Amino acid sequence: MPGKARRVQITERQQKVLREFSRSRTEPKSLSQRAQIVLAAFDRRLNEDIAAEVGLNRKDVGRWRRRWQDAWDELTRLECREPTRLKAAIRETLADAPRSGSLGKFTAAQVCGILAVACEPPENSDRPISHWTNDELRDEVIKRGIVENISSSQVGRYLRDAQLQPHRRKMWINTKEKDPEEFQRKVEEVCQTYLEASARFDSDGTRTVCCDEITGIQALERAAPTQPMQSGQVERQEFEYIRHGTTTVIGNWDVVQGITFQNTIGPTRTEEDFVSHIQQTVASDPDAKWVLVVDCLNIHQSASLVEWIASECELDRELGKKRERVVC
């Protein structure tokens, strides 16, 4: 008669990592299987049912169930102290135990050397690429004599273990505001505007709208119509296309209703384009009050825009100089 299965515990952050492993197409199949086992065990499913689903036997399921629960306290402590290391720790928990045999082929110093190169821009190595690939990185560490030989897949494993992704890039922007107190005030003002949006809308129908542009969108036309999906055949799109230059989208996001509306599509993003966009936005609901949130692009604070808003608000006074704050 089978014994009682260990009860499995998972935190919300651990569950997110396990789901990522279970659905990954780049992680080893064994890791994906074991992540599925832990998730299913957390749902209090029987080992026999889990085994049938993941393609293992009941004893294997029980072993990984116990392995997880034995490591859970330490994983949770690590999650609280160093959350950035949680993913690597879970991968290690679900990895095969060390086997007898020869020691690892590469020393700690060599691994550190590989990771150090991965953190350098490829241009420092006179390589005509913007981001490292596993193959390029492999060639470079061999060229520098860090290792005599290594496979691209092994390089990739070291990068994953160190949570390095040299093939990716994330955009960020520096604030031009040098006064930290003034910057904090501006941040709080914008955040407060969003927090109060729902209350203003419920109170008097004030529309709070975030407005910005997407420029340089390629206007492409397919050379032939797209062929619809048929039984046994997916939808087919013509490979060749005709270029019609680029276009610009000026978009509105209604913060409260969660919708886009009155978007403008045109070839340029000029002062006149933006004023016209704001005019058509306001005309879409002429009886409403409006709060427009924009960044500091010059066309968002142009003289013609200020003059039009002053005219709409029937303000009969000096509006001040450019870059000076005037509350209407």
The number of distinct structural domains making up the chain is 3
What's the CATH code of the domain at 194? 3.30.420
Q: What is the pLDDT of residue 1?
A: 43
The position carrying tokens 């629960």 is 69
Specify whether 47 is located in the same domain as 113.
no
Boundary-marking domain end, from 63, 93, 123: 93
Does any domain span residue 264?
A: yes
Specify whether 207 is located in the same domain as 287.
yes
Does any domain span residue 171?
A: no
CB atoms within 10 A of CB 211: 20
CA 239 and chain centroid, separation:
29
Specify whether 191 is located in the same domain as 308.
yes
Does any domain span residue 103?
A: no
Boundary-marking domain end, from 35, 69, 93: 93
Boundary-marking domain end, from 68, 93, 118: 93
Specify whether 192 is located in the same domain as 294.
yes
Q: Where are the beta strands (DSSP E) in the chain?
A: 207-222, 241-254, 259-260, 264-266, 290-293
Q: Say if CB 242 and CB 220 are below 8 A apart.
A: yes
Specify whether 33 is located in the same domain as 123.
no
Does any domain span residue 79?
A: yes
Specify whether 74 is located in the same domain as 24.
yes
Specify whether 113 is located in the same domain as 84.
no
Specify whether 218 is located in the same domain as 297.
yes
How do the residues of the chain divide into helix, strand and coil, expressed in percent and rounded to 5?
A: 45, 15, 40
Specify whether 202 is located in the same domain as 244.
yes
Specify whether 283 is located in the same domain as 207.
yes
Specify whether 210 is located in the same domain as 270.
yes
pLDDT (tens digit, 0 to 9) for every residue of the chain, 328 residues total? 455 666 889 999 999 999 999 998 888 889 999 999 999 999 999 999 999 999 999 999 999 999 999 999 999 998 898 888 899 899 999 988 766 555 568 898 999 999 999 999 999 999 999 999 999 999 999 999 999 999 999 999 999 988 899 988 888 878 788 898 999 999 999 999 999 999 999 999 999 999 999 998 998 899 999 998 888 888 999 889 999 899 999 999 999 999 999 999 999 999 999 999 999 999 999 999 999 999 989 999 898 998 898 888 887 656 555 555 555 5
Closest CA to 68 of 30, 46, 42: 42
Domain that holds residue 128: 108-161
Report d(CA 310, CA 307) in Å as an integer.
5
Does any domain span residue 174?
A: no
Closest CA to 38 of 10, 57, 11: 10
Does any domain span residue 320?
A: no
Closest CA to 208 of 219, 229, 230, 192: 192
Q: What is the pLDDT of residue 319?
A: 59
Specify whether 148 is located in the same domain as 266.
no
Does any domain span residue 250?
A: yes
Does any domain span residue 5?
A: no
